[in-house]
Amino acid sequence: MSNFNLPNFPVSRLRRLRKTANLRDMFRETHLTRNDFIFPLFVAEGANFKREISSMPNMFQLSIDNVLRECEELLNLGIKSVLLFGIPDFKDETGSSGYASDGVVQKASREIKKNYPEMLVITDVCLCEYTSHGHCGVIENEYVQNDATLELLAKQALTHAQNGADIIAPSDMMDGRIAAIRKILDENNFQETPIMAYAAKYSSAFYGPFREAAESAPQFGDRKSYQMDFGNSDEAMREIALDIQEGADIVMVKPALSYLDIIRRTKDNFNLPICAYNVSGEYSMIKAAAEKGWIDGEKVMMETLTAIKRAGADVIITYFAKEAIKLI
């Protein structure tokens, strides 16, 4: 039985509350705010380095000095959260530069918190950016070994916390990694450091531009044995439930736009903050179509971000953050 037992037309006229801009604004159900956005940053080694990512207009690989300038701009705009991805000079089979105490993300976290302590620093925990093969864990016989990878992810997470990260965000999709990370953090007096789990991360073609940005494309095969199949919804609920049981404080759905139903199911089933990642392919498609003049880029951007929040996301990781906040 429907809860919407309204009188029929002409007594009910829903257009009454759409008549003017003031009416529409007053009764809009979903509003974007400056607190909704997390801005991703791609941190490279060296100094005075800034390279635009060809498939992601207005996004850059940045050395730490330029990351600090970016943080100042973000704070001036009202964006108070960043997500760091590392681009190391050195890669090997086990991604050792990812869990080195002087790794690029570790150094960037330290410098951001030193210069802009009010900036919330979230660090991506995964090995794909640091391994020579581009996969998210230890390889044996061209297959990612789940349990052998957990120790390395835990080490990486600990070095991030030790260098000032406010939130640890594991994106690898290994089974049991939230428990392993929670354990090592708690054992080292980081009991109050939250974990934002990439809980329902799908194996998606929408990640294409990101792999250029993070230089993390797999050198063989694909990631379908550890990232989720895009046809599955019930499995996402199981993944999220397991991550919560293991100690996740925030859960993430990635990508966002093609998975609004998963965001909604997560909202309906779990009483936990939800993050959605408006990924690189979603960003680049809108940018490309706008450049061609096929769509109004600003309007589609705002409609997209509002849809993600309307579906149930509490926060949104998005490359649009700097543009969107100016229109709120």
Q: Annotated active-site positions, please?
A: 201, 254
Angle at which helix 297-311 crosses helix 260-269, to 10 degrees, equals 30
- End-to-end, the C-alpha distance of the chain in Å comes to 37
CA distances from 101 to 21, 43, 110, 171, 239 (A): 53, 15, 11, 20, 30
Distance between CA atoms of 101 and 106, rounded to whole angstroms? 6
Single out the residue of 89, 41, 83 nearest to residue 65, CA to CA.
41
Angle at which helix 177-187 crosses helix 146-162, to 10 degrees, equals 40
